[in-house]
Structure 1
Amino acid sequence: MSPRVMQVMAGAPHGGAELFFERLAIALADSGLDQHLVIRPDADRQRRLQAAGITPHTLPFGGRLDVKTRLGLRRLIGQLKPQVVLSWMNRATLFCPPPAGRFVQVARLGGYYDLKYYKRCDHLIGNTEDIVDYLTGQGWPAERAHHLPNFVSQRRAEPESRKAHYTPLQAPLIFALGRLHPNKGFDVLIRALTRVPDAYLWLAGEGPLRAELEALAQELGVKPRVRFLGWREDVAPLFAAADLFVCPSRHEPLGNVVLEAWAQGLPVVAADALGPGTLIEHGESGLLAPIDDPEALAKAIKAVTTQPALADRLAENGLAAFEAGHTEEKVVRAYRAFFDRVARQGD
Protein backbone atom coordinates (compact mmCIF):
# COMPACT_ATOMS: atom_id res chain seq x y z
CA MET A 1 0.00 0.00 0.00
CA SER A 2 1.45 3.37 -1.04
CA PRO A 3 1.90 6.14 1.52
CA ARG A 4 -0.36 9.21 1.41
CA VAL A 5 1.61 12.13 0.00
CA MET A 6 0.75 15.83 -0.11
CA GLN A 7 2.62 18.07 -2.54
CA VAL A 8 2.63 21.82 -1.88
CA MET A 9 3.60 24.22 -4.70
CA ALA A 10 3.46 28.01 -4.32
CA GLY A 11 5.31 28.86 -7.53
CA ALA A 12 4.71 31.22 -10.43
CA PRO A 13 2.46 30.53 -13.45
CA HIS A 14 5.51 29.69 -15.56
CA GLY A 15 8.89 28.20 -14.75
CA GLY A 16 10.94 25.03 -14.95
CA ALA A 17 10.21 23.87 -11.40
CA GLU A 18 6.50 24.57 -11.83
CA LEU A 19 6.31 22.59 -15.07
CA PHE A 20 8.18 19.67 -13.54
CA PHE A 21 5.84 19.74 -10.52
CA GLU A 22 2.92 19.26 -12.91
CA ARG A 23 4.65 16.48 -14.85
CA LEU A 24 5.65 14.66 -11.68
CA ALA A 25 2.23 15.02 -10.04
CA ILE A 26 0.48 13.66 -13.12
CA ALA A 27 2.96 10.80 -13.52
CA LEU A 28 2.68 9.85 -9.84
CA ALA A 29 -1.11 9.87 -10.11
CA ASP A 30 -0.88 7.61 -13.16
CA SER A 31 1.36 5.26 -11.13
CA GLY A 32 -1.35 4.92 -8.46
CA LEU A 33 0.20 7.04 -5.70
CA ASP A 34 -2.25 8.26 -3.05
CA GLN A 35 -1.55 12.00 -3.29
CA HIS A 36 -3.13 15.43 -2.77
CA LEU A 37 -1.93 18.71 -4.26
CA VAL A 38 -2.05 22.21 -2.80
CA ILE A 39 -1.30 25.09 -5.18
CA ARG A 40 -1.86 28.79 -5.70
CA PRO A 41 -5.03 29.60 -7.68
CA ASP A 42 -3.98 29.34 -11.34
CA ALA A 43 -6.66 28.58 -13.92
CA ASP A 44 -4.26 27.10 -16.48
CA ARG A 45 -2.48 24.87 -13.96
CA GLN A 46 -5.79 23.73 -12.47
CA ARG A 47 -7.10 22.95 -15.96
CA ARG A 48 -4.05 20.84 -16.84
CA LEU A 49 -4.18 18.92 -13.56
CA GLN A 50 -7.93 18.36 -13.78
CA ALA A 51 -7.53 17.06 -17.33
CA ALA A 52 -5.28 14.39 -15.78
CA GLY A 53 -7.92 13.54 -13.18
CA ILE A 54 -6.41 15.57 -10.31
CA THR A 55 -8.40 18.23 -8.46
CA PRO A 56 -5.95 20.38 -6.48
CA HIS A 57 -6.69 22.37 -3.34
CA THR A 58 -5.90 26.08 -3.63
CA LEU A 59 -4.56 28.58 -1.10
CA PRO A 60 -3.24 32.14 -1.66
CA PHE A 61 0.39 31.67 -0.50
CA GLY A 62 0.81 35.39 0.07
CA GLY A 63 3.24 37.20 2.36
CA ARG A 64 4.33 36.43 5.89
CA LEU A 65 1.05 37.79 7.32
CA ASP A 66 -1.09 35.46 5.19
CA VAL A 67 -2.96 33.73 7.99
CA LYS A 68 -5.48 32.17 5.60
CA THR A 69 -2.83 30.00 3.93
CA ARG A 70 -1.16 29.04 7.19
CA LEU A 71 -4.42 27.93 8.79
CA GLY A 72 -5.75 26.41 5.57
CA LEU A 73 -2.70 24.23 5.07
CA ARG A 74 -2.80 23.13 8.70
CA ARG A 75 -6.49 22.23 8.28
CA LEU A 76 -5.87 20.24 5.07
CA ILE A 77 -3.05 18.29 6.68
CA GLY A 78 -5.29 17.51 9.64
CA GLN A 79 -8.13 16.34 7.39
CA LEU A 80 -6.15 14.39 4.79
CA LYS A 81 -3.49 13.01 7.17
CA PRO A 82 -0.60 12.68 4.70
CA GLN A 83 2.34 10.60 5.82
CA VAL A 84 4.72 12.67 3.67
CA VAL A 85 4.43 16.39 2.80
CA LEU A 86 6.62 17.44 -0.13
CA SER A 87 7.03 21.20 -0.51
CA TRP A 88 8.55 22.97 -3.49
CA MET A 89 10.94 25.86 -2.82
CA ASN A 90 11.05 28.43 -0.04
CA ARG A 91 7.55 29.86 0.20
CA ALA A 92 5.65 26.58 0.27
CA THR A 93 8.09 25.17 2.81
CA LEU A 94 7.72 28.15 5.15
CA PHE A 95 3.92 27.82 5.19
CA CYS A 96 4.00 24.15 6.22
CA PRO A 97 3.21 23.65 9.91
CA PRO A 98 5.79 21.90 12.12
CA PRO A 99 5.63 18.14 11.50
CA ALA A 100 5.53 17.34 15.24
CA GLY A 101 5.67 13.65 14.39
CA ARG A 102 2.42 13.76 12.38
CA PHE A 103 4.10 13.53 8.98
CA VAL A 104 7.53 13.50 7.34
CA GLN A 105 8.38 16.90 5.88
CA VAL A 106 10.39 16.90 2.67
CA ALA A 107 11.41 19.84 0.50
CA ARG A 108 12.55 19.62 -3.10
CA LEU A 109 15.27 22.07 -4.18
CA GLY A 110 16.11 22.88 -7.76
CA GLY A 111 18.73 25.46 -6.82
CA TYR A 112 21.26 26.53 -4.22
CA TYR A 113 18.82 28.03 -1.71
CA ASP A 114 19.52 29.35 1.78
CA LEU A 115 18.95 26.44 4.14
CA LYS A 116 17.48 28.74 6.80
CA TYR A 117 14.14 28.17 5.07
CA TYR A 118 14.36 24.39 5.52
CA LYS A 119 15.31 23.94 9.18
CA ARG A 120 12.09 22.07 10.05
CA CYS A 121 12.44 19.57 7.21
CA ASP A 122 13.23 15.93 7.83
CA HIS A 123 14.66 15.35 4.35
CA LEU A 124 15.78 17.45 1.38
CA ILE A 125 15.73 16.45 -2.29
CA GLY A 126 18.16 17.95 -4.80
CA ASN A 127 17.49 17.42 -8.48
CA THR A 128 21.22 17.29 -9.24
CA GLU A 129 24.11 15.62 -7.46
CA ASP A 130 25.80 19.02 -7.21
CA ILE A 131 22.84 20.42 -5.25
CA VAL A 132 23.07 17.45 -2.87
CA ASP A 133 26.79 18.18 -2.46
CA TYR A 134 25.88 21.80 -1.69
CA LEU A 135 23.39 20.67 0.96
CA THR A 136 25.90 18.45 2.74
CA GLY A 137 28.58 21.11 2.36
CA GLN A 138 26.27 23.48 4.26
CA GLY A 139 26.11 20.98 7.11
CA TRP A 140 22.90 19.11 6.17
CA PRO A 141 23.19 15.43 7.20
CA ALA A 142 24.14 13.26 4.24
CA GLU A 143 21.64 10.55 5.17
CA ARG A 144 18.84 13.11 4.84
CA ALA A 145 19.95 14.59 1.49
CA HIS A 146 18.74 12.74 -1.60
CA HIS A 147 19.33 13.02 -5.34
CA LEU A 148 16.15 12.53 -7.36
CA PRO A 149 16.49 13.72 -10.98
CA ASN A 150 13.92 15.34 -13.26
CA PHE A 151 12.29 13.83 -16.29
CA VAL A 152 10.72 15.47 -19.34
CA SER A 153 8.19 14.35 -21.88
CA GLN A 154 9.38 12.15 -24.74
CA ARG A 155 6.29 12.88 -26.81
CA ARG A 156 7.24 13.67 -30.38
CA ALA A 157 5.16 15.82 -32.72
CA GLU A 158 5.01 16.93 -36.33
CA PRO A 159 7.33 19.89 -36.99
CA GLU A 160 5.95 23.39 -36.62
CA SER A 161 5.58 25.04 -40.00
CA ARG A 162 8.62 27.10 -40.89
CA LYS A 163 6.54 28.91 -43.46
CA ALA A 164 4.19 30.11 -40.72
CA HIS A 165 7.16 31.85 -39.07
CA TYR A 166 8.73 33.16 -42.30
CA THR A 167 11.74 30.88 -41.98
CA PRO A 168 13.45 29.43 -45.08
CA LEU A 169 13.22 25.66 -45.30
CA GLN A 170 16.95 25.22 -45.95
CA ALA A 171 18.24 27.68 -43.33
CA PRO A 172 19.90 26.28 -40.18
CA LEU A 173 17.29 26.73 -37.45
CA ILE A 174 18.29 27.28 -33.83
CA PHE A 175 15.70 26.78 -31.10
CA ALA A 176 15.99 28.26 -27.61
CA LEU A 177 13.49 28.13 -24.78
CA GLY A 178 13.07 29.76 -21.38
CA ARG A 179 12.07 32.78 -19.36
CA LEU A 180 13.33 36.03 -20.85
CA HIS A 181 15.48 36.86 -17.84
CA PRO A 182 19.15 37.93 -17.51
CA ASN A 183 20.11 34.51 -16.07
CA LYS A 184 19.12 32.82 -19.32
CA GLY A 185 21.70 34.63 -21.45
CA PHE A 186 19.55 35.13 -24.53
CA ASP A 187 21.36 38.40 -25.20
CA VAL A 188 24.53 36.32 -25.65
CA LEU A 189 22.74 34.06 -28.13
CA ILE A 190 21.48 37.04 -30.14
CA ARG A 191 25.02 38.43 -30.26
CA ALA A 192 26.30 35.01 -31.36
CA LEU A 193 23.75 35.01 -34.19
CA THR A 194 25.61 37.92 -35.81
CA ARG A 195 28.48 35.47 -36.39
CA VAL A 196 26.24 32.79 -37.93
CA PRO A 197 24.82 34.80 -40.83
CA ASP A 198 22.74 32.06 -42.48
CA ALA A 199 20.97 30.80 -39.32
CA TYR A 200 17.54 31.68 -37.94
CA LEU A 201 16.52 31.66 -34.27
CA TRP A 202 13.19 30.70 -32.76
CA LEU A 203 12.99 31.88 -29.16
CA ALA A 204 10.06 30.62 -27.08
CA GLY A 205 9.38 32.30 -23.75
CA GLU A 206 8.19 35.42 -22.01
CA GLY A 207 9.70 37.62 -19.33
CA PRO A 208 10.88 41.07 -18.34
CA LEU A 209 13.58 41.30 -21.02
CA ARG A 210 11.43 40.76 -24.11
CA ALA A 211 11.42 44.39 -25.27
CA GLU A 212 15.13 44.72 -24.49
CA LEU A 213 16.00 41.57 -26.43
CA GLU A 214 13.92 42.66 -29.42
CA ALA A 215 15.68 46.02 -29.36
CA LEU A 216 19.08 44.29 -29.20
CA ALA A 217 18.22 42.10 -32.19
CA GLN A 218 17.16 45.22 -34.10
CA GLU A 219 20.33 47.09 -33.12
CA LEU A 220 22.59 44.21 -34.20
CA GLY A 221 20.78 43.75 -37.52
CA VAL A 222 19.58 40.18 -36.83
CA LYS A 223 15.91 40.97 -36.09
CA PRO A 224 14.80 39.64 -39.54
CA ARG A 225 16.23 36.22 -38.52
CA VAL A 226 14.80 36.06 -34.98
CA ARG A 227 11.28 34.93 -34.14
CA PHE A 228 10.00 35.75 -30.65
CA LEU A 229 7.31 33.09 -30.18
CA GLY A 230 6.07 34.00 -26.69
CA TRP A 231 5.22 31.43 -24.05
CA ARG A 232 4.41 28.03 -25.55
CA GLU A 233 2.78 25.15 -23.68
CA ASP A 234 3.42 22.66 -26.49
CA VAL A 235 7.07 22.83 -27.50
CA ALA A 236 7.46 19.42 -29.17
CA PRO A 237 6.61 20.83 -32.65
CA LEU A 238 9.26 23.53 -32.17
CA PHE A 239 11.93 20.98 -31.27
CA ALA A 240 10.89 18.90 -34.27
CA ALA A 241 11.30 21.84 -36.64
CA ALA A 242 14.75 22.88 -35.41
CA ASP A 243 18.24 21.69 -36.36
CA LEU A 244 19.80 22.27 -32.95
CA PHE A 245 18.97 23.51 -29.47
CA VAL A 246 21.01 26.20 -27.70
CA CYS A 247 21.02 26.90 -23.95
CA PRO A 248 23.08 30.08 -23.40
CA SER A 249 22.30 30.42 -19.66
CA ARG A 250 24.60 32.28 -17.30
CA HIS A 251 23.00 30.46 -14.36
CA GLU A 252 21.24 27.10 -14.74
CA PRO A 253 21.25 24.71 -11.75
CA LEU A 254 19.94 21.75 -13.78
CA GLY A 255 18.97 22.52 -17.34
CA ASN A 256 15.59 20.89 -17.94
CA VAL A 257 15.75 22.33 -21.44
CA VAL A 258 18.84 20.22 -22.17
CA LEU A 259 16.91 17.12 -21.13
CA GLU A 260 13.99 18.18 -23.35
CA ALA A 261 16.27 18.62 -26.35
CA TRP A 262 17.93 15.26 -25.72
CA ALA A 263 14.54 13.57 -25.42
CA GLN A 264 13.53 15.12 -28.74
CA GLY A 265 16.68 13.89 -30.47
CA LEU A 266 18.26 17.31 -31.09
CA PRO A 267 21.97 18.14 -30.81
CA VAL A 268 22.64 20.61 -27.99
CA VAL A 269 25.00 23.57 -27.64
CA ALA A 270 25.13 25.15 -24.18
CA ALA A 271 27.01 27.67 -22.11
CA ASP A 272 29.06 25.90 -19.46
CA ALA A 273 26.78 26.82 -16.55
CA LEU A 274 26.69 24.39 -13.66
CA GLY A 275 23.66 22.32 -14.70
CA PRO A 276 24.34 21.90 -18.44
CA GLY A 277 28.07 21.60 -17.73
CA THR A 278 27.35 18.66 -15.41
CA LEU A 279 24.88 16.98 -17.76
CA ILE A 280 26.81 17.35 -21.02
CA GLU A 281 29.96 15.48 -21.92
CA HIS A 282 31.62 18.00 -24.22
CA GLY A 283 32.05 16.70 -27.74
CA GLU A 284 29.96 13.60 -27.05
CA SER A 285 26.46 14.51 -25.81
CA GLY A 286 26.70 18.21 -26.67
CA LEU A 287 29.06 21.13 -27.12
CA LEU A 288 29.90 23.53 -24.29
CA ALA A 289 31.05 27.14 -24.65
CA PRO A 290 32.26 29.51 -21.93
CA ILE A 291 29.55 31.58 -20.25
CA ASP A 292 29.05 35.08 -21.70
CA ASP A 293 31.15 34.36 -24.80
CA PRO A 294 29.18 35.05 -28.02
CA GLU A 295 32.16 34.23 -30.26
CA ALA A 296 32.70 30.78 -28.70
CA LEU A 297 28.96 30.09 -28.74
CA ALA A 298 28.79 30.99 -32.44
CA LYS A 299 31.76 28.72 -33.18
CA ALA A 300 30.00 25.78 -31.49
CA ILE A 301 26.75 26.51 -33.34
CA LYS A 302 28.56 26.61 -36.69
CA ALA A 303 30.31 23.32 -35.90
CA VAL A 304 26.93 21.62 -35.47
CA THR A 305 25.26 23.26 -38.49
CA THR A 306 28.16 22.52 -40.85
CA GLN A 307 29.13 19.01 -39.72
CA PRO A 308 26.21 16.59 -40.11
CA ALA A 309 28.14 13.65 -38.66
CA LEU A 310 28.91 15.67 -35.52
CA ALA A 311 25.29 16.77 -35.20
CA ASP A 312 24.10 13.17 -35.52
CA ARG A 313 26.58 11.89 -32.93
CA LEU A 314 25.66 14.60 -30.41
CA ALA A 315 21.95 13.89 -30.86
CA GLU A 316 22.38 10.12 -30.56
CA ASN A 317 24.55 10.34 -27.45
CA GLY A 318 22.29 12.94 -25.88
CA LEU A 319 19.27 10.70 -26.29
CA ALA A 320 21.22 7.80 -24.77
CA ALA A 321 22.17 9.97 -21.76
CA PHE A 322 18.54 10.93 -21.30
CA GLU A 323 17.33 7.34 -21.47
CA ALA A 324 19.98 6.23 -18.98
CA GLY A 325 18.67 8.33 -16.11
CA HIS A 326 15.90 10.78 -16.93
CA THR A 327 12.93 8.87 -18.32
CA GLU A 328 9.54 9.21 -16.65
CA GLU A 329 9.50 5.55 -15.69
CA LYS A 330 12.86 5.67 -13.89
CA VAL A 331 12.22 8.96 -12.08
CA VAL A 332 8.72 7.98 -10.93
CA ARG A 333 10.07 4.67 -9.65
CA ALA A 334 12.76 6.55 -7.70
CA TYR A 335 10.22 8.96 -6.15
CA ARG A 336 7.88 6.10 -5.21
CA ALA A 337 10.75 4.23 -3.53
CA PHE A 338 11.78 7.39 -1.68
CA PHE A 339 8.24 8.05 -0.39
CA ASP A 340 7.92 4.43 0.75
CA ARG A 341 11.23 4.59 2.60
CA VAL A 342 10.75 7.89 4.44
CA ALA A 343 7.11 7.11 5.29
CA ARG A 344 8.23 3.91 7.04
CA GLN A 345 10.85 5.88 8.94
CA GLY A 346 8.15 8.27 10.11
CA ASP A 347 5.87 5.51 11.46
Structure 2
Amino acid sequence: MKIAFLNVSYGVVERGAERFVDELSKRLKEKGIGVDIISANKPYKVRWPIVWRTYLDPFGIQVTIFTLKNLGRLWREKYDVVIPIDGGWQPAFVRIITWLYGGKIVISGQSGKGWDDRNNLWCFGGKMDFKLERPVVIAVGALDRDKRMDLVIRAMSQVPKGSLVIVGKGPLRLELERLAKSILKGRFLITSFDFNKMPQVYRGADVLTLASPWYRSFEMVIVEAMATNLPVVVNDELTTTT
Protein backbone atom coordinates (compact mmCIF):
# COMPACT_ATOMS: atom_id res chain seq x y z
CA MET A 1 0.00 0.00 0.00
CA LYS A 2 1.15 3.53 -0.81
CA ILE A 3 -0.15 6.62 0.97
CA ALA A 4 0.50 10.26 0.08
CA PHE A 5 0.02 13.37 2.19
CA LEU A 6 -0.43 16.74 0.48
CA ASN A 7 0.78 19.47 2.82
CA VAL A 8 2.00 22.72 1.27
CA SER A 9 4.12 23.84 4.24
CA TYR A 10 5.41 20.54 5.62
CA GLY A 11 9.03 20.81 6.73
CA VAL A 12 8.89 24.61 6.89
CA VAL A 13 6.35 25.45 9.59
CA GLU A 14 5.00 23.45 12.50
CA ARG A 15 1.29 23.97 12.87
CA GLY A 16 -0.93 21.25 14.21
CA ALA A 17 -1.46 20.08 10.63
CA GLU A 18 2.24 19.51 10.06
CA ARG A 19 2.61 17.70 13.39
CA PHE A 20 -0.34 15.50 12.45
CA VAL A 21 1.34 14.56 9.16
CA ASP A 22 4.66 13.93 10.89
CA GLU A 23 3.27 11.69 13.62
CA LEU A 24 0.88 9.73 11.42
CA SER A 25 3.43 9.17 8.66
CA LYS A 26 5.96 7.82 11.18
CA ARG A 27 3.46 5.35 12.58
CA LEU A 28 2.44 4.19 9.12
CA LYS A 29 6.07 3.65 8.12
CA GLU A 30 6.64 1.62 11.28
CA LYS A 31 3.94 -0.74 10.01
CA GLY A 32 5.72 -1.15 6.69
CA ILE A 33 3.39 1.11 4.70
CA GLY A 34 4.91 3.26 1.98
CA VAL A 35 4.39 6.96 2.67
CA ASP A 36 5.20 10.04 0.58
CA ILE A 37 4.81 13.55 1.96
CA ILE A 38 4.32 15.97 -0.92
CA SER A 39 5.15 19.54 0.07
CA ALA A 40 5.94 22.87 -1.58
CA ASN A 41 8.46 23.53 1.20
CA LYS A 42 7.16 27.09 1.51
CA PRO A 43 5.54 28.96 4.39
CA TYR A 44 1.80 29.23 4.04
CA LYS A 45 0.53 32.61 2.92
CA VAL A 46 -1.82 34.94 4.76
CA ARG A 47 -5.54 34.31 5.05
CA TRP A 48 -7.87 37.22 4.39
CA PRO A 49 -10.91 37.63 6.66
CA ILE A 50 -14.18 36.50 5.06
CA VAL A 51 -12.55 36.10 1.62
CA TRP A 52 -10.76 32.95 2.77
CA ARG A 53 -14.08 31.12 2.70
CA THR A 54 -14.08 31.46 -1.09
CA TYR A 55 -10.50 30.10 -1.21
CA LEU A 56 -9.52 33.12 -3.31
CA ASP A 57 -7.27 34.68 -0.67
CA PRO A 58 -3.45 34.29 -0.92
CA PHE A 59 -3.43 31.04 1.08
CA GLY A 60 -6.30 29.54 -0.91
CA ILE A 61 -4.62 30.39 -4.21
CA GLN A 62 -1.30 29.00 -2.95
CA VAL A 63 -2.96 25.70 -2.04
CA THR A 64 -4.81 25.49 -5.36
CA ILE A 65 -1.64 26.05 -7.42
CA PHE A 66 0.32 23.58 -5.29
CA THR A 67 -2.39 20.95 -5.69
CA LEU A 68 -2.75 21.39 -9.46
CA LYS A 69 1.02 21.07 -9.90
CA ASN A 70 0.97 17.70 -8.12
CA LEU A 71 -2.05 16.10 -9.78
CA GLY A 72 0.25 14.60 -12.41
CA ARG A 73 2.34 12.95 -9.71
CA LEU A 74 -0.75 11.51 -8.06
CA TRP A 75 -1.83 10.11 -11.42
CA ARG A 76 1.57 8.56 -12.15
CA GLU A 77 2.07 7.07 -8.70
CA LYS A 78 -1.57 6.01 -8.28
CA TYR A 79 -1.43 6.09 -4.50
CA ASP A 80 -3.86 3.80 -2.75
CA VAL A 81 -4.81 6.59 -0.34
CA VAL A 82 -4.26 10.34 -0.60
CA ILE A 83 -4.70 12.57 2.45
CA PRO A 84 -5.09 16.28 1.56
CA ILE A 85 -4.21 18.47 4.53
CA ASP A 86 -4.55 22.07 3.39
CA GLY A 87 -8.27 22.43 2.74
CA GLY A 88 -9.63 24.86 0.18
CA TRP A 89 -10.13 23.34 -3.26
CA GLN A 90 -7.48 20.71 -2.55
CA PRO A 91 -9.87 17.94 -1.40
CA ALA A 92 -12.09 18.48 -4.46
CA PHE A 93 -9.20 18.15 -6.93
CA VAL A 94 -7.82 15.13 -5.08
CA ARG A 95 -11.27 13.53 -4.98
CA ILE A 96 -11.54 13.82 -8.77
CA ILE A 97 -8.07 12.44 -9.57
CA THR A 98 -8.34 9.52 -7.14
CA TRP A 99 -11.79 8.67 -8.47
CA LEU A 100 -10.42 8.59 -12.01
CA TYR A 101 -7.66 6.09 -11.22
CA GLY A 102 -9.48 4.16 -8.48
CA GLY A 103 -7.73 5.49 -5.37
CA LYS A 104 -9.13 6.62 -2.04
CA ILE A 105 -9.12 9.93 -0.20
CA VAL A 106 -9.25 10.58 3.53
CA ILE A 107 -10.19 14.07 4.73
CA SER A 108 -9.56 15.20 8.28
CA GLY A 109 -10.74 18.36 10.00
CA GLN A 110 -11.64 20.47 6.97
CA SER A 111 -15.30 20.24 6.12
CA GLY A 112 -17.14 21.01 9.33
CA LYS A 113 -18.84 18.74 11.82
CA GLY A 114 -19.77 15.40 10.32
CA TRP A 115 -18.93 16.18 6.70
CA ASP A 116 -15.40 14.74 6.78
CA ASP A 117 -16.85 11.47 8.04
CA ARG A 118 -19.53 11.47 5.35
CA ASN A 119 -16.89 11.92 2.66
CA ASN A 120 -14.61 9.24 4.06
CA LEU A 121 -17.40 6.72 4.51
CA TRP A 122 -18.62 7.40 0.97
CA CYS A 123 -15.10 7.13 -0.43
CA PHE A 124 -14.36 3.82 1.25
CA GLY A 125 -17.97 2.95 0.84
CA GLY A 126 -19.92 0.57 -1.06
CA LYS A 127 -23.00 -0.63 0.72
CA MET A 128 -24.97 -3.83 0.66
CA ASP A 129 -28.22 -3.84 -1.29
CA PHE A 130 -30.54 -6.22 0.55
CA LYS A 131 -33.31 -5.69 -2.02
CA LEU A 132 -35.82 -5.22 0.79
CA GLU A 133 -38.34 -2.54 1.66
CA ARG A 134 -36.76 0.36 3.52
CA PRO A 135 -36.03 1.34 6.19
CA VAL A 136 -33.83 -1.67 6.90
CA VAL A 137 -33.29 -2.64 10.54
CA ILE A 138 -30.28 -4.87 11.13
CA ALA A 139 -29.47 -7.14 14.07
CA VAL A 140 -26.06 -8.81 14.27
CA GLY A 141 -25.13 -11.67 16.56
CA ALA A 142 -25.17 -15.38 17.23
CA LEU A 143 -28.48 -17.11 16.55
CA ASP A 144 -28.91 -18.52 20.03
CA ARG A 145 -31.21 -17.95 23.01
CA ASP A 146 -28.90 -15.44 24.62
CA LYS A 147 -29.18 -12.92 21.77
CA ARG A 148 -33.01 -12.96 21.78
CA MET A 149 -33.36 -12.53 18.04
CA ASP A 150 -36.93 -13.80 18.37
CA LEU A 151 -37.71 -10.65 20.37
CA VAL A 152 -36.29 -8.52 17.57
CA ILE A 153 -38.51 -10.32 15.05
CA ARG A 154 -41.62 -9.84 17.19
CA ALA A 155 -40.80 -6.18 17.72
CA MET A 156 -40.32 -5.65 13.99
CA SER A 157 -43.73 -7.19 13.33
CA GLN A 158 -45.23 -4.19 15.14
CA VAL A 159 -43.60 -1.80 12.66
CA PRO A 160 -45.89 -1.34 9.63
CA LYS A 161 -43.12 -0.54 7.13
CA GLY A 162 -39.53 -1.59 6.62
CA SER A 163 -37.58 -4.83 6.77
CA LEU A 164 -35.41 -6.78 9.17
CA VAL A 165 -32.01 -8.26 8.36
CA ILE A 166 -30.52 -10.67 10.90
CA VAL A 167 -26.82 -11.39 10.38
CA GLY A 168 -25.30 -14.33 12.20
CA LYS A 169 -24.98 -18.08 12.56
CA GLY A 170 -26.27 -20.45 15.19
CA PRO A 171 -28.53 -23.35 16.14
CA LEU A 172 -31.76 -21.33 16.06
CA ARG A 173 -31.64 -20.30 12.42
CA LEU A 174 -34.46 -22.55 11.21
CA GLU A 175 -36.64 -21.67 14.19
CA LEU A 176 -36.10 -17.96 13.62
CA GLU A 177 -36.81 -18.30 9.90
CA ARG A 178 -40.13 -20.02 10.63
CA LEU A 179 -41.09 -17.28 13.08
CA ALA A 180 -40.12 -14.50 10.68
CA LYS A 181 -42.02 -16.08 7.79
CA SER A 182 -45.16 -16.31 9.89
CA ILE A 183 -45.25 -12.70 11.12
CA LEU A 184 -42.99 -10.68 8.79
CA LYS A 185 -43.88 -12.42 5.52
CA GLY A 186 -41.37 -11.17 2.93
CA ARG A 187 -39.95 -8.34 5.05
CA PHE A 188 -36.92 -10.16 6.41
CA LEU A 189 -33.60 -11.80 5.60
CA ILE A 190 -31.51 -14.10 7.79
CA THR A 191 -28.00 -14.49 6.46
CA SER A 192 -24.29 -14.26 7.30
CA PHE A 193 -21.25 -12.52 5.82
CA ASP A 194 -17.48 -12.66 6.11
CA PHE A 195 -16.17 -10.12 8.58
CA ASN A 196 -14.48 -8.04 5.86
CA LYS A 197 -17.91 -7.48 4.28
CA MET A 198 -19.48 -6.11 7.45
CA PRO A 199 -18.75 -2.41 6.77
CA GLN A 200 -20.82 -2.65 3.58
CA VAL A 201 -23.49 -4.57 5.48
CA TYR A 202 -23.79 -1.85 8.12
CA ARG A 203 -23.85 0.87 5.48
CA GLY A 204 -26.68 -0.90 3.70
CA ALA A 205 -28.93 -0.62 6.76
CA ASP A 206 -30.75 2.32 8.34
CA VAL A 207 -30.45 1.34 12.00
CA LEU A 208 -28.92 -1.42 14.14
CA THR A 209 -30.79 -2.95 17.03
CA LEU A 210 -29.93 -5.53 19.68
CA ALA A 211 -32.16 -7.17 22.26
CA SER A 212 -29.51 -8.90 24.36
CA PRO A 213 -30.34 -9.19 28.09
CA TRP A 214 -28.95 -6.76 30.64
CA TYR A 215 -26.19 -9.06 31.86
CA ARG A 216 -24.45 -9.13 28.49
CA SER A 217 -21.26 -7.06 28.37
CA PHE A 218 -20.89 -4.17 25.93
CA GLU A 219 -21.08 -5.77 22.49
CA MET A 220 -18.61 -4.94 19.74
CA VAL A 221 -21.24 -4.77 17.01
CA ILE A 222 -22.45 -1.52 18.59
CA VAL A 223 -19.06 0.10 18.00
CA GLU A 224 -18.75 -1.45 14.54
CA ALA A 225 -22.11 -0.01 13.51
CA MET A 226 -21.37 3.43 14.93
CA ALA A 227 -18.01 3.44 13.12
CA THR A 228 -19.93 3.31 9.83
CA ASN A 229 -22.22 6.17 10.94
CA LEU A 230 -25.13 3.80 11.55
CA PRO A 231 -27.55 4.74 14.38
CA VAL A 232 -28.08 2.11 17.07
CA VAL A 233 -31.05 1.24 19.27
CA VAL A 234 -30.09 -0.92 22.26
CA ASN A 235 -31.23 -1.65 25.80
CA ASP A 236 -30.95 1.19 28.28
CA GLU A 237 -28.63 -0.79 30.54
CA LEU A 238 -25.48 0.16 32.40
CA THR A 239 -23.17 -1.83 30.12
CA THR A 240 -24.40 -0.13 26.94
CA THR A 241 -24.86 3.45 28.17
CA THR A 242 -21.62 4.08 30.08
TM-score normalised per structure 2? 0.46
Task: Specify the structure having the higher radius of gyration (Cα).
Answer: 2
TM-score normalised per structure 1? 0.33
